[in-house]
């Protein structure tokens, strides 16, 4: 377990801007800054196209070649190397961080596993690469990881297509926590799953966060999930942060009209609140027209 210095946050994003290389004037992510502390979950919320996934990918240095990080720094703090700016690292040093210190769970469990390798092998890969585990030691570690995420250890020799969606997402989680990373980035890890499975996965992530004192960057568009898992919330709209704060601040007393609109369109389980489409009337471009879509 790494003791993180209280005064330095685990991850600090400073003025991140992302643009397409061919159109450098179009800001896909515009001046985004927030911090993540060890043992805390920061949720990034927003509709599709708001830049939340791009922000997460930029932390890992996984942006596609057509995009470029225009400005800003990603300061990552670990006890071995002190504070490093991830945007300045070369590919080799990044490779040592990815999977070892920062891990990621992708959105679709159906497509993010390799179909021709057993799940046990895929979980073990990062253990061999980063920690040099082999043979029996590796097997025991894989078994204990599978157990931790609630999959029978005998399934280590199964291929991804033999597992259900929820199980595959558990395998993804086991892969990502294998090296006990300091930071876990989860990009809509439960969007493709059933409610019951979703509840299990959220509970599991929350336990792991406490157990391993992991910082977590959690991307979602569902405020229900935010309420269950977040410590801090960042709301993004069209590439910019419109509001951020602790969960109670943002959910209990939303200040920005977009946050209010987004909260209002989440259906409630009692059916007391009337269904409301999202309201963009607050946008400056809609101010002169009073028309609101019904």
Residues of this chain that bind another protein (CB under 8 A): 47-48, 164-165, 194-199, 202, 221-228, 251-252, 261-262, 265-271, 275-278, 293-294
Q: How far is the CB of 250 from another protein (least distance, A)?
A: 10
Beta strands 11-20 and 183-187, pairing class: unpaired
End-to-end CA distance of the chain: 53
Contact 259, 278 (CB under 8 A): no
Contact 269, 78 (CB under 8 A): no
* Residue number with CB closer to another protein (91 or 293): 293
* Residue number with CB closer to another protein (12 or 169): 169
Structure tokens at 17: 């801007």
> Which stretches does DSSP call E strand in 25-157?
29-36, 41-45, 67-78, 82-85, 102-105
Distance CA 174, CA 75 (A): 26
* Residue number with CB closer to another protein (147 or 248): 248
* Residue number with CB closer to another protein (10 or 236): 236
227 to each of 93, 97, 121, 221, 223, how far by Cα in Å?
Answer: 36, 30, 35, 12, 6
* Residue number with CB closer to another protein (135 or 252): 252
With vertex at residue 98, the alpha carbon angle to CA 18 and CA 37, rounded to the nearest 5 degrees, is 75
């Amino acid at each position: 377990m790494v003791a993180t210095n209280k005064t330095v946050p685990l991850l600090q994003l400073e003025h991140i801007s992302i643009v397409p290389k061919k159109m450098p004037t179009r800001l896909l992510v515009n001046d985004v800054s927030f911090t993540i502390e060890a043992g805390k979950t920061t949720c990034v919320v927003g509709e599709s196209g708001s830049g939340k996934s791009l922000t997460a990918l930029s932390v890992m240095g996984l942006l596609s070649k057509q995009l470029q990080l225009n400005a800003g720094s990603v300061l990552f703090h670990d006890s071995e190397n002190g504070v490093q700016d991830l945007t300045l690292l070369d590919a080799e040093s990044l490779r040592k961080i990815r999977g070892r210190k920062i891990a990621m769970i992708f959105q679709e469990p159906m497509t993010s596993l390799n179909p021709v390798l057993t799940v046990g092998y895929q979980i073990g890969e990062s253990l061999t690469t980063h920690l040099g585990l082999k043979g029996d030691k590796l097997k025991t570690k894989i078994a204990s990881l599978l157990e931790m995420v609630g999959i029978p250890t005998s399934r280590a020799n199964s291929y991804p297509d033999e597992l259900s969606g929820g199980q595959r997402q558990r395998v993804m989680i086991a892969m990502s926590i294998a090296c006990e990373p300091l930071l876990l980035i989860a990009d809509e890890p439960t969007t493709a799953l059933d409610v019951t499975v979703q509840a299990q996965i959220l509970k599991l992530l929350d336990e792991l966060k406490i157990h391993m004192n992991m910082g977590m960057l959690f991307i979602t568009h569902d405020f229900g999930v935010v309420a269950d898992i977040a410590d801090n919330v960042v709301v993004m709209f069209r590439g910019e942060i419109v509001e951020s704060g602790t969960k109670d601040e943002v959910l209990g007393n939303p200040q920005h009209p977009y946050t209010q609109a987004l909260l209002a369109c989440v259906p409630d389980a009692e059916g007391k609140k009337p269904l409301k489409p999202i309201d963009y009337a607050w946008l400056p471009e809609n101010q002169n027209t009073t028309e609101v879509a019904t």
